[in-house]
Structure 1
Amino acid sequence: MDELNGHVIVCGVAGIGMRIVDQLVASGEQVVVVGRTPDPRLTAAAARWNVPHLVAGIGIADALAAAGLSTAMAVICVEQDELWNLETALLARELRPDVNVVAQLSNATVGGAMNHGGGPGAVLDIADLAAPSVVEACLGIAVHDVEIADIGFVAAQLDVSEKSTLRTLYGDLAPVAVVSAGGGLIACPGRDHLVGPGDVATMLGTDDDFDRAHISLKRGAYVGERSVGPRRRDRVRAAVRGFVEDTNPNFFRMLGVLLTLLVISSTILRVGYTKPGMSILDALYFSTETIATVGYGDFTFSDQAVWLRLFSIVLMFAGVTTTALLMAFLAELLISRRLSQTAGKRAARFMTGHVVVIGLGAFGIRVARELKSRGRDVVVIERSANSRFVSAAATLGVPVIFGDATVTDTLVDARVAHASAVAVLTSDDMVNIETGIAVRGVLGDRWPDAPGRPGVPVVMRVFDRSLGDAVAHRFGFRNVRSTEELAAPWFIGAALGLQVLGTFSIGTQSFMVGRLEVAADGGLDGMAMHQLSANTRVIALRRTATGDVEHPPRRGTSFAAGDHAYVVGPYEELLGVLRRDRGLV
């Protein structure tokens, strides 16, 4: 591989690695793939991409050297085994301190230590990168804040109310995308693009720009209906019903045996106890004493008939046994695992306007944490009681319902029909699709496609972008999010020198805001704005010579070496701009 120069080494192709290599190859980058172990999928994928591939069985350091680390531009570590990512990143940095090293690590402590003075590159966490898009979809957030050149910008989705051009409706606001009434999306249209009622235009500018266009921004999320608190009578009924549902049925059998003993003993004592006789209350009192083996000395069997003394022996043994069993079942209710697995159902019993998160993995807990930080009530559904994030959910005060989310009863326990949003975030695409269909059945006329109703946002995690598009089209899901689509731009941008400032989703398309430095004698040096791709928009330009920021730059404005260009668009288009700056186009 001596002929390679300025290439990217991608270590790991499972999951997001596949998308990263796909995009790098599509952008014309030279790529070498390194796998941790021999895998037929790696061989087949490398053949499809027509890229060299290696297996690190000989050792990571030797594999990196064989992949051309000495001449590589970047190393991306996205293997599913994060310990292997850490080892690869450390070795790559040790062997060549100046190479860009980008690694996937979910451990915040280790990642922070790696980022602190560790050389060029970044340590990223897929869950942190993708979670904000899911939270925004759940809460119906249509306003995205991003800082560009130390200036606060806003990308806002606006409903078009009349037929006109974007320039006429929104003045100098920069068009980012238009979603037509039919669902089609146009990225970065011109200001003279014609729109009409039913279309949704995403425009970008500063708060002052929106004020000049007489547009009032509504930041934050729709809160939805909140639980107003049930009446005391309803709470008592629910508490009783919950106690009955959670208790071992044998508890009630033993309770029935104990009551039967009391009735029989009280009747016998009332009739057969002499010297002196007993009232009904005395009989009940003495029966309770005998069963509980307390004996205060105020009543005794010593001077009673033989048959009654024999009965007292039987009564004491029966009472002790029954009471012990009753206490055992009560202890089971209080301290057993059964209680912990039903606590979530009880906590969710009166929730309204909450968000249901299905799947308590690294991604699910990250979304739940962000929702809680925004003041929303959250209920989590998790299949396995052994999830390592159960304690984290308890710390957040988030109830967890253990069960299969594809089963209607589990969704009913989480009160999905009364939720303000549902996020389906398990690690299995098929389970997510099946769960989404089950959620649609439970929501009924609150499903987003129901006529005359805004609907409940149902956000579905699907790893592959093409599968996500197909699922959205076939089953009518409006908010399908591909984690690899959301996170891949950050890894690619960090590897190639494009600083990612933020991402947001419009429909199923991801948009990225990034910053690049115009290279001297590169493809952008001296180029005018209107010569760029029609699907990319330059928002601002910071001039190195003067430090001034041009916003917005005009069509005739030209780039100069050293300028910082702030661009927005689909990340494939932004990578094209980056390649052009490097003189590869």
Structure 2
Amino acid sequence: MVVCGDDALARRLAAELRSVYGEQVTLVVPPAGQAPGPPVVGRARASALFGRVSAAVQRATGSTGVNGGNGNANGDGEPAAPAPQLEAAELTDEVLAEAGVERAAALALVHDDDETNIRAALAARRLNPRLRLVIRLYNRRLGQYLEDVLDQAAALASPGVDPHAFDASTTILSDADTAAPALTAAAVAGSSKVVQAHGVLLRAAERSAAAPGDSALCTLALLSDAATDTQGPGTALPQLLPDEASVTAADGRGRIVLETVSYSGPAQPVSRSRPLGSLLSPRLRWSFVGIVLGVVALAVTAVFTTGEHPLRAVYLTLLDLFSINEPAIGESTFRQVLQLLSGFVGLLLLPVLLAAVLEALGTFRSGVVTRRPPRGLSGHVVLLGLGKIGTRVLARLRELDIPVVCVESDPEARGMALARRLRVPVVLGDVTEEGVLEAAKIHRAHSLLALTSVDTTNLEAALYARSVDPELRVVMRLYDDDFATAVYRTLRAAHPRALTRSRSVSYLAAPAFAGAMMGRQILGAVPVERKVLLIAAVTVAGLAPLEGRTLTETFRPGSWRVLALDTSTGGPEQRPDGRERPEGVAPHRSGDPSPGLVWDLHPGYVLRPEDRVVLAATGRGLAELLGRRPRTAAPAPDGGG
């Protein structure tokens, strides 16, 4: 297999393929000094500092920092073997040929630049029509078109050959889309890890040990003691895909359960029409109410003091208010006093009218300008950075109707247009400057998501936010995984009651990319602390651990578990091969959240070769399921990952 990239995702993906799947990998990277990436100023020094502090904390507490992650590439505690490396400034035909693309089974193009990946994909498909392609693209619509074109090119390049004889599929993935659900879920209490792909929606919800779980399909994982926030850093490791006995025996530990959710449809476009009340702020509305009450009071007073008819009294009062009435010379003293008071109220009306006009214009222009955080806002999420990752996370948060305040230093950042369209408040400024986080109302926020491309900026923002609120939930995106581990362990020890998460996007995305290179349809990834569970759809044919076995027999704790049967190609009442639904498969209900999937399978249902199933598995579990690694006597206690 060949992996081409210019950042941490490429190296982590190569290590994942070698250490977890046992594949032969060639890594193609730019020459030293040419690889783009986030600024690293101060990161090495900070990493060393936090590493020393973390080591001291571990010696003092005896904690291994299980939730902080590890520096290994595969996340299993095993060191990742380095892959053979080829340096090239551009992915030309000659470079691809030297890397062995003509003989490779799969090629991953994970450069940060979409155009570079597209050019290399077209060249690779021409060199090897049977090559399995996994391409990293941020533009999802372009990715769909490119996937269809490359698959069609592979089919036309091999006329008369059975398309099932080889797997030349093209898979378009985005590290931003893969990591966004995990980052969103880590920042919001009670919100869920949502996996959405091809109409399939799954929700991995975190629950306490005492929470009822009648609606759950199964238990995906048992959390460590540290994740439950009960006794600070614990010693129990997270357990992936436990059996029923383990779930029953895990008294007092939190767990992650799988649920189904209904499809909510595409987001509704923002309406341009606005009710009159939304044009003016509450202060202006109260100002107008005060002026109206003043006019009414003056008119009533005129009726009782001058004996005028009520309508005429109101008319004269308005004329005096707008200074278009004749002076009350020679009239009674009461009339003259009322005229002076009406003129004074008219003077007060002028600035209120001007403020109303300016505010209304600003409201109508809110579609093209940024909004400021409203007064009294609390319980919101402060999102730092509107780059690729921040934009996807912002969209996820708004899909869940979670209030968000964004902080961005670049007015032309990628996510600014989305923030304006969704009418999300944005504070423009450098987060390291005084008063920027205060403007985002960090002291009343529910959580902080630091997703800028600079590790030290994210760390500085997190530390300042913790000084404002020691129990604030903090989620940081850290480019360097060793740095993320050290930061997590130190902050966890310093603030044991607060929830801290340090996430590396490459860590969350690499398992999904590796799974796609193995030829499986990866629907998504569910993070469990610093480990990852993959949700995949596979065909039973040729898989000995599944074919001809019941669901109970196929379940391997810590490795894989069948979740549902995919019948999307055969209609709601037929199997994929067109035959009637077999015994053990319940008919679809009208309210079934995913009409193409059957979730309530009987434990005794026997899987047939033509079946296509959705399963949850660890990286090692999927590798073993395909026979890529020799089986062991028993899976690891934490299920790998």
CA RMSD of aligned residues (A): 4.2
Listed as ranges, the matches of 1:252-267 within 5 Å are none
Listed as ranges, the matches of 1:41-440 within 5 Å are 49-57=81-89, 60-119=92-151, 120-143=169-192, 155-161=204-210, 173-183=217-227, 184=236, 185-193=238-246, 194-195=248-249, 198-204=252-258, 232=283, 346-440=372-466
For the 8 Å contact 1:156–1:202, the answer to whether it is kept is yes
Q: In structure 2, what is the equivalent of residue 461 of structure 1? A: 477
Q: In structure 1, what is the equivalent of residue 615 of structure 2? A: 567
Shift of 1:127: 1.5
Q: Which of residues 516, 520, 528 in structure 1 aligns to 2:542?
A: 520
Shift of 1:440: 1.0
- CA-to-partner distance for each residue in 1:83-107, whole Å, 9 max, x for gaps? 2111111111222233211111112
- CA-to-partner distance for each residue in 1:436-482, whole Å, 9 max, x for gaps? 111111224xx1xxxxxxxx432221234454344222202433332
Using the alignment, how far apart are the partners of 2:216 and 2:384 within structure 1?
42
- CA-to-partner distance for each residue in 1:209-258, whole Å, 9 max, x for gaps? xxxxxxxxxxxxxxxxxxxx98628999xxxxxxxxxxxxxxxxxxxxxx
- CA-to-partner distance for each residue in 1:171-224, whole Å, 9 max, x for gaps? 99532111244444111111012446642122336699xxxxxxxxxxxxxxxx
Using the alignment, how far apart are the partners of 2:209 and 2:627 within structure 1?
35
User: Which consecutive residues of structure 1, in runs of 5 or more, have no partner in the other structure?
Assistant: 1-7, 209-228, 237-339, 448-455
Shift of 1:426: 0.5
Q: In structure 2, what is the equivalent of residue 318 of structure 1? A: none
- CA-to-partner distance for each residue in 1:313-334, whole Å, 9 max, x for gaps? xxxxxxxxxxxxxxxxxxxxxx
Using the alignment, how far apart are the partners of 1:440 and 1:125 within structure 2?
32
What TM-score results when the alignment is normalised by the length of structure 1?
0.64
For the 8 Å contact 1:468–1:480, the answer to whether it is kept is yes
SS in 2 for 1:71: coil
Q: In structure 2, what is the equivalent of residue 503 of structure 1? A: 525
Moved more, 151-160 or 99-108: 151-160
- CA-to-partner distance for each residue in 1:32-68, whole Å, 9 max, x for gaps? 11224456999xx9x9834332233585211222222
Q: In structure 2, what is the equivalent of residue 34 of structure 1? A: 28
SS in 2 for 1:118: helix
SS in 1 for 2:627: helix
Using the alignment, how far apart are the partners of 1:110 and 1:205 within structure 2?
31
Using the alignment, how far apart are the partners of 2:543 and 2:380 within structure 1?
55
Q: Call closer, same or farther: CA 1:177–1:381 in 2, change over 3 Å.
A: same
Q: Call closer, same or farther: CA 1:416–1:65 in 2, change over 3 Å.
A: same
Q: Which of residues 505, 513, 529 in structure 2 aligns to 1:491?
A: 513
Listed as ranges, the matches of 1:10-25 within 5 Å are 10-25=3-18
Shift of 1:349: 4.6
For the 8 Å contact 2:197–2:524, the answer to whether it is kept is no
Moved more, 413-422 or 176-185: 176-185
Q: Call closer, same or farther: CA 1:558–1:468 in 2, change over 3 Å.
A: farther
Q: Read off the aligned partner of 1:568 and give its amino acid letter.
A: A
State the number of aligned residues: 437
SS in 2 for 1:484: helix
For the 8 Å contact 2:560–2:622, the answer to whether it is kept is no
What TM-score results when the alignment is normalised by the length of structure 2?
0.59
Q: Read off the aligned partner of 1:56 and give its amino acid letter.
A: A
For the 8 Å contact 1:499–1:514, the answer to whether it is kept is yes
For the 8 Å contact 1:523–1:581, the answer to whether it is kept is no
Q: Call closer, same or farther: CA 1:107–1:173 in 2, change over 3 Å.
A: closer
Q: Read off the aligned partner of 1:232 and give its amino acid letter.
A: R
Structure having greater relative contact order (Cα 8 Å, sep ≥ 6): 2
- CA-to-partner distance for each residue in 1:1-29, whole Å, 9 max, x for gaps? xxxxxxx1101151211211111111211
Q: Read off the aligned partner of 2:172 and give its amino acid letter.
A: V
Moved more, 416-425 or 551-560: 551-560
Using the alignment, how far apart are the partners of 2:203 and 2:397 within structure 1?
21
Shift of 1:108: 3.4
For the 8 Å contact 2:383–2:404, the answer to whether it is kept is yes
Q: Call closer, same or farther: CA 1:149–1:564 in 2, change over 3 Å.
A: farther
Q: In structure 2, what is the equivalent of residue 283 of structure 1? A: none
Shift of 1:580: 1.9
Using the alignment, how far apart are the partners of 1:153 and 1:129 within structure 2?
14
Shift of 1:554: 8.1
SS in 1 for 2:379: coil
Using the alignment, how far apart are the partners of 2:286 and 2:7 within structure 1?
49
Using the alignment, how far apart are the partners of 1:510 and 1:420 within structure 2?
25
Shift of 1:72: 1.4
User: Which consecutive residues of structure 2, in runs of 5 or more, have no partner in the other structure?
Assistant: 37-72, 74-78, 152-168, 228-235, 263-279, 288-365, 493-498, 567-574, 586-598, 633-641
Q: Read off the aligned partner of 2:258 and give its amino acid letter.
A: L
SS in 2 for 1:393: helix
Using the alignment, how far apart are the partners of 2:188 and 2:140 within structure 1?
26
The structure where helix makes up a greater share of residues is 1
Using the alignment, how far apart are the partners of 1:23 and 1:410 within structure 2?
40
Q: Call closer, same or farther: CA 1:147–1:367 in 2, change over 3 Å.
A: closer
For the 8 Å contact 1:160–1:195, the answer to whether it is kept is no
Q: In structure 2, what is the equivalent of residue 577 of structure 1? A: 624
Identity of aligned residues (%): 28
For the 8 Å contact 2:186–2:501, the answer to whether it is kept is yes
Q: Call closer, same or farther: CA 1:66–1:553 in 2, change over 3 Å.
A: farther
For the 8 Å contact 2:109–2:136, the answer to whether it is kept is yes
Q: Call closer, same or farther: CA 1:182–1:140 in 2, change over 3 Å.
A: closer
Shift of 1:82: 2.6
Using the alignment, how far apart are the partners of 1:373 and 1:206 within structure 2?
16
Using the alignment, how far apart are the partners of 2:456 and 2:523 within structure 1?
33
Q: Call closer, same or farther: CA 1:14–1:485 in 2, change over 3 Å.
A: same
Moved more, 528-537 or 409-418: 528-537
Counterpart check, 1:474 vs 2:490? yes
Q: Call closer, same or farther: CA 1:378–1:174 in 2, change over 3 Å.
A: closer
For the 8 Å contact 2:5–2:111, the answer to whether it is kept is yes
Q: Call closer, same or farther: CA 1:188–1:466 in 2, change over 3 Å.
A: farther
Shift of 1:158: 2.6
For the 8 Å contact 1:348–1:413, the answer to whether it is kept is no
Q: Read off the aligned partner of 2:620 and give its amino acid letter.
A: E
Counterpart check, 1:539 vs 2:563? yes
Using the alignment, how far apart are the partners of 1:58 and 1:436 within structure 2?
38
Using the alignment, how far apart are the partners of 2:200 and 2:516 within structure 1?
22
SS in 1 for 2:102: helix
Q: Call closer, same or farther: CA 1:346–1:161 in 2, change over 3 Å.
A: closer
Using the alignment, how far apart are the partners of 1:423 and 1:233 within structure 2?
34
Q: Call closer, same or farther: CA 1:372–1:10 in 2, change over 3 Å.
A: same
Moved more, 75-84 or 169-178: 169-178
Q: Call closer, same or farther: CA 1:432–1:176 in 2, change over 3 Å.
A: same
SS in 1 for 2:396: helix
